[in-house]
Amino acid sequence: MAYQEDIALMAHLMRRAGFGAGRDELEARVAKGYEATVEELLHPETQPAVDVYTLLRYQPASLLPGGQPPMGNVNFMYHLVNTKRPLEEKMALFWHHVFATGNSKVDNYDQLLEQIGLFRQQGMGNYRDLLLTIARNPTMIFWLDNNQNHGTAVNENWGRELLELFSMGVGAYSEKDVREASRAFTGWTFETKIPRLPYGRFPWKFEYRPEDHDDGEKEFLGHRGRFNGEDIIDIVVEQPACARFVCRHLYNFFVADEAQVPAWSIEPPRDQKAIDTLTATFRQSRFDIRSVLRVLFNSSFFKNARFKHLKSPAEVVVGSLRLVGGYELPRPGYGDLSMQPAYMGQDLLNPPSVEGWHTGPEWINSGSLMARINFVAELVGDPSLPGVRAIIDRLKTRGSLSPEQLVDGCLDLLGPVEVSSETRRELVAQAKEWGQTGWASETSAKTADKRVGEMLQLIVATREYQFA
Amino acid sequence: MAATQKDPVLVTVQLSGGNDYLNTVIPFNEPLYRDNRPAVGIPDDQILRFDKTYGFHPAMAPLKKVWDQGKLAIVHGVGYANSPRSHFRSMDIWHTCEPEKVGTQGWLGQVAREYDPKKENVVTVVSFGPSLFRALVAPGVPVACVAGPLEKYGFLPNIQERAQRLQVLDRFAKMYAPVAGTGVMEYLGTTGLDSLKGADILKVAPQKYASTVKYPDTPIARKLRGIAQVHFADLGSRIFYCDHGSFDTHAGQNPGHGQLWSAVCEGLEAFMADLREHDHADNVIILLFSEFGRRVHDNGSGTDHGAAGPAFILGDKVKGGHYGEYPSLKAEKLVQGDLNPSTDFRSIYSTVLEKWLKLDPKPITGGRFEQPAFLN
């Protein structure tokens, strides 16, 4: 079963570093090798970018979607479903979780998509550079009121969140540090917005106004000087707390569910050794995210963390759409499709607050559980979809299937998914109601297709399937 | 706590998108109304005058009847300071009672937790809409969210063959049975069984339902009919929620705004008739709100985002009338061109919580607010 184990491990990698993969892709990747696949994922530039012209043709309004959903979501969803650079897109989602910026205030999906674009470009690059980029991002500046942060009247919103939510976490700095960091970012604003009427929205542009900057001496985390914003970032990234914070975020997103971020100053990490390994790389590589990810995906703590992460709604929706196929073109109806994560509690481009989404078990409530199960079940129960067809076709080649073979075959081709013995017993009991499943005659084939669909639906409804 | 048939029930109808105050409750004597509404004003002869000062939009005839019966309270100038004019942020403020920071707990979710702290009834809160409204969210509170028709509510709706479906749902229940294991599996188990139970309970509602009332064929009327079905089934549901929209009439306000109100009013008319037919009217009140009002001066074909708006409470136990003050339309009284709120939205919640739901409003609204006396 060594080969089967390779498939299972590759499936795990692709679920975490991407949005899952069907069996054909997994086999091709196993042939290529695990480490080589990691390298390919770490170097998205080796793969083609998403074809935005197709998006333009089908959903022209999604290029500059303005302030109303769902066209901004259509744009993001199209990228998520079609990307050949899954880790690039996953990192965009990751940074969107961390630097959570929402349409609730920004009221401008054009700008939010631009920010996601920055995450695509820089998400695996240097963290220090990324922090600087986000500090200069007009969308972020508006979201956290840094345009109201003046030399003569300090607004601490950005300064505080930079330290609390974007780099170090509560407990690593004093209130004075917040004040001093905020002073250093005075004058970091954006150009006066051009009125929306009559020509529509204009892109926002960063602007530094030296006359509005407090150029006095500041004392920040034990350093003293006439700091500007960039100096603050340079001091922050050198802090051990920063390395721990960023690496714990990566661990929580890619390896296994941690406590919610606000609790990190109280609750120790789930795996201190793993965090130590990652932080060492973070610092040695001078804040290179790609290097940290390379260590992460090749580590045994990652490989041993199968199904230790509750799928986010985005992972549920995108993973399912990519598995079943047929949703590559942004046809009419894509609007509702792109809002599906919102129905399950994750309104992309509109996180509930700057704290981002609460993850892990907090994704689940009665409504969201029903929403996620029903959404996935409807897709996998439709044998006309190419990915479902592919599963049926593979099962067909195995001849007539006993109830156990049907269950194990479906579990295998949906993941492989691992379920508890109690769950498997129930699945087998259901399959026994149906008896043998086979495609020998036209009528039995029709029934068999239906049975597979129903078994897949039952599997995606399990507790285990909610995990990645 | 076991709910009885006569426990107070609240139905909230969310008018999403920002309803235009000036064309909903029209101050027809006010010359500034005419001055500000050259394009989307309601002609004098079409206004449904209901007293010496105000009239309704012509599409609101059914609501005027409720007014004439003394069962409609209009709360004027509702809003909050520093109105953000963002739909989403404004809606969040209404949902969580947190105008200053981002709140995480919905006001009605907290009500549900007060009523049923041990979670004995998974259908205490029933929501009809596309998603879980934040107003209903509170940790540990189950909410039954019905997105489509009630008849199809439940897990795996596309397995339709009855025997097959029962069998599969039975498997589902067994697979979600409590297991000794990690907390997360346990939690998923409870949630799964709660929702399954909720689906099971709710599904009897349409089967038990019979009525001579014909509801119009609109989304809001279908939702209200679903609410009526669940309410009549005596399942102990106390909080119902639904939405209609979009009232975001930046353009094409004539005739769009009227169509929206026709749908809402005709739906409510049928709903109230249904309540009375089933002798279930005396323990239900209906709250209508929108996240904000719209700009005083029109923009040529519609109106932009504004601030203060009206809220409506209707029901057999409601004391009809005007509450609060219609904000001044005088240019110097406007805030960035918008009506300045004169009533904090939490005032309405406070009355509803204390007088109707019999709860202390303070922990939920986060303060003491004057209570407009639309309930005894």
Q: Where are the domains of chain A?
A: 1-42, 47-303, 381-466
Q: Is B166 on the interface with A (CB under 8 A)?
A: no
Residue type (1 letter), B12: T
Those of residues 445-464 in A touching chain B at CB distance below 8 A are 454, 457-458, 461-463
Q: How far is B106 from chain A (nearest CA, A)?
A: 13
Contact (Cβ atoms closer than 8 angstroms) between residue B123 and residue B144: yes
By Cβ distance, the residue of A343, A381, A433 closest to B158 is: A381
Question: Which run of H or of E encompasses B1?
Answer: none
Strand runs labelled E in B130-176: 144-146
Query: Using the beta-carbon criterion (under 8 Å), do B122 and A366 form an inter-chain contact?
Result: yes
Radius of gyration of chain A (CA): 24
**Which pTM value belongs to this model?**
0.79
Model confidence over A397-414: pLDDT tens digits? 999 999 999 999 999 999
Helices marked H in A18-85 — which ranges? 23-32, 34-42, 52-58, 71-82
Helices and strands of chain A, counted as H and E runs = 25, 4
Shortest CB distance from B88 goes to which of A104, A339, A366?
A104
Cα–Cα distance measured from residue B86 to residue A67, given in angstroms and rounded to the nearest whole number: 9
What chain B residue is nearest to A369 in terms of C-alpha separation? Answer: B192
Residue A368, chain B, CB below 8 Å: the answer is yes
- Count CB-CB contacts under 10 A for residue B35: 13
Cβ contact (<8 Å) for A433 and B167?
yes
**Which residues on A lie below 8 Å from B243 (Cβ)?**
none
Q: Is B163 on the interface with A (CB under 8 A)?
A: no
- As a whole number of angstroms, the distance between CA A387 and CA A21 comes to 10
Which pLDDT value is given to residue A425? 96
- Which chain A residues contact residue B155 at CB under 8 A? 370, 373-374, 377, 461
Surface-to-core class of residue A450, CB atoms within 10 Å of its CB (0-12 exposed, 13-18 middle, 19+ buried): middle
The amino acid that residue A74 corresponds to is V
Instruction: Mutate one of A68, A104, A370, A379 to test the B interface: name it (highest B CB count within 10 A).
Output: A370
Please name the residue of chain A whose CA is at the shortest distance from the CA of residue B131.
Answer: A343
Min Cα distance A311 → chain B (Å) is: 12
CA distance to A116, A140, A355, per residue, from A100 (Å): 11, 9, 7
Under 8 Å between Cβ of A367 and A342: no
* Phi, psi values for residue B343, rounded to 5°: -130, 125
What type of residue is B319?
Answer: K
Mean pLDDT per 10-residue run, chain B (376 residues)? 69 96 98 96 97 98 98 97 77 90 87 93 87 82 80 80 86 87 82 86 91 96 96 95 88 90 98 96 96 92 90 97 98 94 98 97 96 96
Least Cα separation, residue B63 to chain A (angstroms): 30
Strands B9-16, B284-290: pairing kind: parallel
Query: Over 60: is that where the pLDDT of A52 sits?
Result: yes
Question: How is chain B split into domains, by residue range?
Answer: 9-150+213-365
| Lowest-confidence segment of A353-367, A441-455, B65-79, B320-334 by average pLDDT | A353-367
- Cα separation of B134 and B88, whole Å? 11
Listed by number, the residues of chain A in 70-129 with a beta carbon closer than 8 Å to a beta carbon of chain B are 102-105, 107
Distance of CA A10 to the CA centre of its chain: 18
Tell me which chain A residues have a C-beta less than 8 angstroms from the C-beta of B102: 352-355
Torsion angles phi and psi, residue B241, rounded to 5: -140, 140
Q: Are A37 and A74 in contact (CB under 8 A)?
A: no
Mean local confidence (pLDDT), A101-119: 94
In this complex, do B167 and A366 lie within 8 Å of one another by their Cβ atoms? no
Return d(Cα B350, Cα B312) in angstroms, integer: 14
ipTM score of complex: 0.87
Q: How far apart are CA B152 and CA B149, in angstroms?
A: 6
3-state secondary structure (DSSP) of residue A121: helix
- State yes or no: pLDDT of A30 exceeds 60: yes
Asked if B88 has any chain A CB less than 8 Å from its own CB, the reply is: yes
CB-closest option in B84, B92, B132 to A368? B132
Single-letter amino acid, residue B174? K
**Does the beta carbon of B158 lie under 8 angstroms from any beta carbon of chain A?**
yes
Q: Answer whether B228 touches A (CB < 8 Å).
A: no
Q: Could you tell me if B32 lies within 8 Å of chain A, comparing CB atoms?
A: no
Return the number of other C-beta atoms located less than 10 Å from residue A328's C-beta.
14
Contact B83, B338 (CB under 8 A): yes
- The interface residues of chain B toward chain A in range 331-360, judged by CB-CB distance below 8 A, are none
Closest chain B residue by Cα to residue A455: B168
Provide the pLDDT for residue A1: 56
- According to the model, what pLDDT value does residue B2 have? 40
The proportion of chain A whose per-residue pLDDT surpasses 70, expressed as a percent, equals 100
- Note the pLDDT of residue B181: 63
Between CA B376 and CA B369 the distance in angstroms is 17
pLDDT of residue B3: 44
Backbone angles phi, psi at A210, to 5 degrees: -60, -35
B131, B144, B175 member nearest A462 (Cβ) = B175
Q: How many CB atoms lie within 10 A of CB A247?
A: 24
Tell me the Ramachandran region of residue A83: left when phi exceeds 0, alpha when psi lies from -120 to 50, beta otherwise: beta
- Residues A34, A39, A44, A48: is their CA dihedral positive or negative? negative
Residue whose C-alpha is closest to residue A113's, from A201, A45, A193 = A201
Does domain B9-150+213-365 fall under CATH 3.40.50? My reply is: no
Positive or negative CA dihedral for A238, A239, A242, A244?
Answer: positive
DSSP H/E element including B270: helix B253-277
For residues A45 and A449, is the Cβ–Cβ distance under 8 A? no
What mean pLDDT do residues A52-62 have?
96
Distance CA A394, CA A383 (A): 13
The predicted model gives A12-40 an average pLDDT of 97
The alpha carbon dihedral of B124, B128, B132, B133 has a sign of negative
The distance from CA B265 to its chain's CA centroid, rounded to whole angstroms, is 13
With 0-12 / 13-18 / 19 or more C-beta atoms within 10 angstroms meaning exposed / middle / buried, residue B165 is middle
Query: What pLDDT was estimated at residue B4?
Result: 47
Whose CA is closest to A458, among B364, B35, B170, B98? B170
Q: What six digits make up the tokens of A206?
A: 């960063």
Beta strand B321-323 with B309-314 is unpaired
Contact residues, chain B, for A457 at CB < 8 Å = 156, 158-159, 168
Smallest Cα distance from B125 to chain A, Å: 11
Give pLDDT, residue B1.
39
User: What distance in Å separates the CA atoms of residue A352 and residue A336, rounded to the nearest whole number?
Assistant: 20
Which residues lie across from B289 on neighbouring strands? B14
